[in-house]
Amino acid sequence: MKETVFLDYQAINFVSFLKLSSTKKFVALSLVISVLIFIVGRLVIPIPNFYYDSFRYIDWAKNDIIVSIRPTTYSRIISFFKFFSNSDIALVVAQYACNYVSNLFLFVTAIYFFPFKKISKRLLFIVLFLNPLYFITSNIILSDSFFCALAVIWISILIWLIKFPKWYLFAAETLLLIVLFKLRYHGIIFPIILFIALIFFIKIKVIAKILVIGINFFLLFLVINDIKNTNQRITGIKIFSAFGGWQMASNAMYILQNNSHQVNTNMVINADDDTKQILHFVKHYYDTSKNPLKTYLPRGLFLWEKSSPLNKYLELYAQENHLSADGAWQKLGPIYNKFGWYVINKNPVAYYRYWVLPNFLFYFASSPEAYLYYCNNNDTIPEFVANYYNYKTNVVSIKTRKLYFLLTSPIRYINSIINILFIFLTLIYLKTFGINNKNFFTKALLLFAIIYIINLAFISALAPTVLRYHLFIFTLAIPFLIGIIETLTSKFNNKYV
C-alpha cells in the first residue's frame, strides 16, 4: 500500500515560483479571459444591476450624505469614481478589477502552498476565472463586490501569515481590516478571526501577538469612536449604528408575532418605559390589524415593509416628537436596540426557534436576492439614477432581464452544493487524517473551517441570510474543496494499489 500524498507547502522562493513558465501562463491567461468576459458581459448587459440599496447609495453620493441607515463609505467610493467618468464604467471596472485581483491572489496562494495536480489547478482556474458569477457580482451598484473581494484577500494573507509571519503582512491585514469594517459592519468578525489565528496558528513571540492584537483593536476602537462622534455631530445621537438597533428590533419581531399575547404578563417585567411602550404598541397592532404582517422566513420584512409595526411606530414617534422620517429613524436606533435585546433576552428559546434555527437552515439555501433579478425585475430604474449616470433612458430591457435571470438562477443551488460538500468532506478529511496533522494544508483548512463557523454563527444569530453577505466564503471554499477531494482520492487510490 502506498503512502497518501498530502498537499503540503514545498520550500520554493515565491519570486522563483512566479517566474515559473506554468505560473506565468496561468496569470496571463487569467488576465486575457477576465478582460474578454468583462467586454462581452458589458456588451450583453451594458447597464449595471441596481438593487434597492443601490438607489440609497447613489442618493447619498449625489447629496453628499455622511450619516444614514448604512455605512456611507461606498457612497463616497461612488462619488470618487464619478470624478473619472460621468457614466458607471469607472466604478464597475474598479469593482471587477478588485474581484480579479482577489481571485488571482487566492489562486496563486493556493497553488503555491498546496501543490495541486494539474487537473486540480485547471479546475480551480476554471471556477475562479471562467465563472460569470464574478462579472455579475461586479456589475452591480452595491458595496458587496468590494467587501467580498477584499475579504478574500484578507483571509488569503492570513494563510500566508501561518507560514511567513512578516510585519508587512500584518500591516496589510490591519489596513484591510479598517477598510472592510468601514464598508460593512459585518467586518466586525475579522478581528475575532485574527485573534484566533494569532493564538492557535501563527507562530510569533507572545509580546508580538499582544502587540498585533492591541494595534488592531485600538484602531478599530478609534474607527468606531469616530463613527459615533460623526453621528452625534450630524444627528445629535452618539451611536455606532442606528441600523443595528433596527435589525435587533426586527429579529425580536419574530418572537413577538408568535407571542404577542404575553406582552401584558411576564414580558413587560423590568422593561424601561420606551420598551414597554413599543411592546404595548406591537400587541395592539397584532390584536387590531385585519392583516398584520407575519413572516416565518428570516428576512428583513419587519425592517422595510411600511405595514410593519416597527415602521408604524416610526410614524407615531416622528409625529409625537416633531421629527422627519430620517430623524426619527436615527433616534429610534438606540431605543429599538434596547427593545430588541430585551425581548430576545426574555425569550432565548423562542429566539432560537423562530429566528436562529430557520436562519441557520437558510444559510445553506441562501437567497440570491440582489443577484437574482435584474433591476428588481422592474420595467424602469428611478429617473434620478438614470440622470446621475447620464443614461439615455431609464427603461430596462426585457431581453436583458430574461438573460440575467437565466445566468443567475443556478447560483442558489450551486451555493447550497458547495456549502454542504464543504462541511461533509471537511469532516471526512479531519476524521481520516486528524486535526493534529502537521501538514500545512490541514492547518489552513482548520483555520478556514473556524472562519466558516464564525461567519455562520454571526449570520445565523444576527442578520438575514442572503448570498451577497457571504460570497467571500463561497469563493474561499473552492480551493479547500479541491484540495480535500484530491487528498482523499489519493488515499483511496493508494489503498487499493
pLDDT digits (tens, 9 = 90+) for 189-228: 999 999 999 999 999 999 999 999 999 999 999 999 999 9
Give domain limits for the chain: 14-236+367-495, 242-365
Interatomic CA distance for residues 113 and 281, integer angstroms:
58
* 184 within 8 A of 468, measured Cβ to Cβ: no
Q: Three-state DSSP class for 367?
A: strand
Residue 261: predicted pLDDT: 60
Please give the radius of gyration of the chain, using alpha carbons only, rounded to the nearest integer: 24
pLDDT tens per residue, range 440-497:
999 999 999 999 999 999 999 998 888 998 899 999 999 999 999 999 998 777 654 4
Provide the pLDDT for residue 12: 80
- Whole-angstrom distance, CA of residue 463 vs CA of residue 129: 30
Q: Rounded to whole angstroms, how far apart are CA atoms 473 and 400?
A: 29
Cell of 186: 459585518
Measure the CA–CA gap between 423 and 473, rounded to whole angstroms: 12
Contact 217, 191 (CB under 8 A): yes
DSSP 365: G
Q: Give the pLDDT confidence score for residue 114 in this predicted structure.
A: 92
Amino acid letter, residue 363: Y
Grid coordinates representing 182 are 468601514
Q: What is the pLDDT of residue 10?
A: 61
Residues β-bridged to residue 4: none
d(CA 256, CA 267) in angstroms, rounded, equals 10
Distances from the Cα of 205 to the Cα of 127, 154, 165, 202, 211, angstroms = 38, 22, 11, 10, 10
For residue 3, the model assigns a pLDDT of: 46
- DSSP, res 375: G
pLDDT recorded at residue 9? 58
pLDDT, residue 368, reads: 87
Q: Given this model, what pLDDT does residue 1 score? A: 43
DSSP state of 466: B
Question: How far from 91 is each of 141, 162, 329, 352, 363, CA to CA, in Å?
Answer: 8, 34, 30, 40, 30
Transcribe 129-172 into DSSP letters: HS-THHHHHHSBSSTHHHHHHHHHHHHHHHHHHHH---HHHHHH
pLDDT in tens, the chain (497 residues): 444 445 555 668 899 999 999 999 999 999 999 999 999 999 999 999 999 999 999 999 999 998 888 889 999 999 999 999 999 999 999 999 999 999 999 999 999 999 899 999 999 999 999 999 999 999 999 999 999 999 999 999 999 999 999 999 999 999 999 999 999 989 999 999 999 999 999 999 999 999 999 999 999 999 999 999 998 888 888 888 889 999 999 999 999 988 766 665 667 778 899 999 999 899 889 888 888 888 888 888 899 899 999 999 999 999 999 988 888 999 999 999 999 999 999 999 999 999 999 999 999 988 888 998 999 999 999 999 999 999 999 999 999 999 999 989 899 899 999 999 999 999 999 999 988 877 899 999 999 999 999 999 999 999 888 899 889 999 999 999 999 999 999 877 765 44
- Residue with C-alpha cell 453620493? 61
Strand segments, DSSP code E, in 46-197 are: none
C-alpha cell at 227: 463613527
Nearest partner of 250 among 322, 343, 326, judged by Cα = 343
pLDDT 10s digits, 378-392 = 999 999 999 999 999
